[in-house]
Amino acid sequence: MTPALTGTAPFTVTAARDYDPEVGTLPGMSLGRYEIDGPGGEAARRLFATGARHVTLPRPVDVTDPADAAWSVRALGFVGALSSMAISVDWQLHTGPDPDAWRDYGHLHPPTAVLGTADPAATALAWRSTYYICKCVFRYGPGFVQVRDRRYGELRRFTIDEPEYHEAIEALTDGARADAIPRAVLDDLMSEKLVLRFGDHLWWAPYRVRRWSAAPLVI
């Protein structure tokens, strides 16, 4: 199974060497513009290797707009990859009026505003106050995939060893079309909110980690 969004148009971000946006404006701190034209995980690792510690997305991510769903899943996957490497992200997310919708995305680096809510800044503050790295992650083991999810308060842990689920996760990493994933597998993953659907596109919510930032029983 191959990722269904391989042909999604590239987008351009700006990057800086410091987490503080003001410091990033000082001479020698800006890394300029980077075109993201491949998998989000590879792009995030490349940016980290060049010294990037702060990245700015080109425009808001609106998960309420089905016409923009391809961008949404691509951008969310990229933000997840950046979050996994502790790279801060300047971005905005439009979730609509539900004041709790942000919790589905609360493992990602907090945006500057959660648009569509009654108080975008206050919702973003609630997000920041509960954020920590590795809040919803997955890792590969020998013959299995393990997911740890604390987005909703308690730890939910899943160990996935079925080959058809592994194929689905591989296809979903940078977003996929809904018809690219077997229906039974998709229904299972969506029932646990490990996959979210926007129009005809799907986003795999956990981001990948290669080593735990703390003892795994803690996170």
- Each as own residue / partner, the long-range contacts of residues 140-149 (CB below 8 Å, 24 or more positions apart, any chain) are 140/208, 145/169, 147/194, 147/206, 148/216, 148/219, 149/107, 149/192, 149/194, 149/206
The 3-class SS string of 107-130 reads: CCCCCCEEECCCCHHHHHHHHHHH
91 in Cβ contact with 60 (< 8 Å): yes
CA atoms within 13 A on the CB side of 167: 9
pLDDT level of residue 25 (50, 70, 90 thresholds)? confident
Instruction: Please report the pLDDT score of residue 89 as a whole number.
Output: 97
How much is the pTM?
Answer: 0.91
201, two tokens: 């596109």
**In this predicted model, what pLDDT tens digit does every residue of 114-132 receive, in sequence order?**
999 999 888 999 999 999 9
How far is 5 from 175, CA to CA, in rounded Å? 6
**In this predicted model, what pLDDT tens digit does every residue of 138-188 receive, in sequence order?**
999 999 999 999 999 999 999 999 999 999 999 998 899 999 999 999 999
Per DSSP, the three-state class of 189 is helix
210, two tokens: 């290669």
DSSP string, 35-80: EE-S-HHHHHHHHHHTT--EEE-SS-EETT-GGGHHHHHHHHHHHH
**In this predicted model, what pLDDT tens digit does every residue of 131-147 receive, in sequence order?**
999 999 999 999 999 99
User: pLDDT averaged over the chain?
Assistant: 90
